[in-house]
Amino acid sequence: MSEHLRYLFFIGPRDKLPKPLENSLVRELPGLVVQVSTDWDVLVEKAEQEGVLPSLILVDEAFGAMNPDLLQVFQDTYPNAILCLTYNGEYTSKLHIRKCLKTGIINNVIPMNLRLDLWLYAIQIMLHGGSYMPPDLVELLEIDRSMQLEKARKATAASGVSGAHIVSSLTPREREVLELIARGQQNKHIAANLSLSEHTIKLHIHHIISKMGVSNRTEAAAAYLQIHRSAGGNG
């Protein structure tokens, strides 16, 4: 494998990454090799045969929403690759995006109808380890986050148990993991920060969700932030 080549995988229908757009990628970003398939196993097998590792994996939002478990597989197979959802800007796409982002695995989203120069710039940012999300989605996610905070507040009030008591029931390590989740860190980064395996982090998250009585890591983080906000207000 040449040290000067970088690889981009696109998972989704061929028509979602039109050939002219792929050609623009290759032309404007020298050294970039693009591989497209709807079959993840085919891409992995080909990559293993050629001895290459992707720097960036673009996942069509509909494919990601229908196969959420595969998002974890993508991350586990290529932990150093940046994962990014692609979407066409329609409302149904945003519903798919919400579903994928709730997994906590993907933090990058790029619209396929973005102006070409901006689209290429966003791809460059991610190829260099950065992140990208369009402003309208950031606003949408902020609304979601506010709703989750309110849901967590009501759930805590209805339970008759203080939020501080719920968090205090966690072990010191679980509280460390929860704090990093609330900061938006992915499992692999939490594992690196705490010098633990990703498997151990997943077990901690499972225990946190169970003890806090929430449905997923996003709700756990929202509850944690609400508790700290309330504590700050009372202080």
pLDDT score, position 52 = 92
Task: Mention the CATH class of domain 139-234.
Answer: alpha beta
Residue segments in the chain with a per-residue pLDDT below the cut of 50: 1-2, 160-162, 233, 235
Judge if pTM exceeds 0.85: no
Query: CB of 85 within 8 A of CB of 59?
Result: yes
The pLDDT tens digits of the residues spanning 128-169 come to 888 888 877 666 565 555 555 555 556 555 554 445 566 777
Instruction: Could you please state the CATH topology (level 3) that the domain comprising 6-133 is classified under.
Output: Rossmann fold (3.40.50)
**Which residues of the chain does CATH 3.40.50.2300 include?**
6-133, 139-234
CB–CB of 84/108 below 8 Å? yes
Q: What angle do CA 92, 121, 119 make, to 5 degrees?
A: 30
Distance between CA atoms of residues 170 and 175, nearest Å: 6
Q: At what angle do helices 91-101 and 135-159 cross, to 10 degrees?
A: 50
